Amino acid sequence: MQLLCVWVVLLPVALCSTIVRSATTPTYTRKDEVTGETLVCDMCPPGQYLLAHCSRTSKTQCGPCPQNHFTEIWNYIDRCQYCSRFCAAYEQESAPCTRTHNRDCQCRAGYYSRHDTCFRHRKCPAGEGVTHLGATHHDVMCAPCQEGFFSSESSSAKPCQKMRECQANTTTIPGNALQDVFCSHCKNGTKTVPERDLCDRELMKFVATQILPQRKEKRLRTMLKRKTRLHEQNPSTLDLLSRLKELLPTDVSFSEEVLTILGDVILPGLERKVRQRFV
């Protein structure tokens, strides 16, 4: 009866010991090469690998992974895995190689991942604005500018901008999805010399800030370069127009000269706006 009591008392202790052990240290089984006995050995923890199996008289022997090698899980392998993940073009290291995990990479700023490849975030074209910024795992989202808003440049970060409101003493030249409202102090009709100079300056700015199709803009700039003989590598449209005004005789109207150029390069829409607002 005393022996039975010992088993009753010890059995729960043995079971409890087994449960705690398996919950903290995973095990594996192997046959002893000498005795043929099946042994239950402790595994090696992440970051280590197997140096020697356990025996009847000794525990499992583990060692740390060498540099640039790792093990992620409990194991009984005889060598660590090599950190074979290298960041490709347009990627950056997000987690270094350690003894417990491989190197990890993610797309650099301005790129997103799709099908394990990094792609550059798209740019919303002029007339559209960014509604959702791009991130590591998704592209930029764009939408056309609504009434009262505009976008004059392609961008992967800028939303549509609200159009300005002109002051009461100015003329409002309407904008569109590509172009902001233009506020002008130029008045139609007969003008004094200072008023004419003011209109000419605003005309230059108005023409220079217009968003034109690439081919039409090139035609306009080519004509202005020819008229001004300005041989700088890449003068701005505003520089070309300023130079044109400087070269004109005082008895020649700058606005009429601009209208002639716009007619020659076939820009009827812009020609009409100039004639309505600046002549």
119 DSSP β-pair partners: 112
- Domain 27-103's class? mainly beta
Map out the domains of the chain as residue ranges. 27-103, 185-278
**Among the ranges 120-129, 170-179, 222-231, which has the highest mean pLDDT value?**
120-129
215 has pLDDT over 70 = yes
Measure the CA angle with vertex 11, ends 8 and 15; round to 5°: 150
18 has pLDDT over 50 = no
105 has pLDDT over 90 = yes
pLDDT band at 19 (very low <50, low <70, confident <90, very high): very low
Rounded to whole angstroms, the Cα distance separating 272 from 263 reads 10
Residues 32-62 have pLDDT tens digits of 888 889 999 999 999 999 999 999 899 999 9
pLDDT band at 23 (very low <50, low <70, confident <90, very high): low
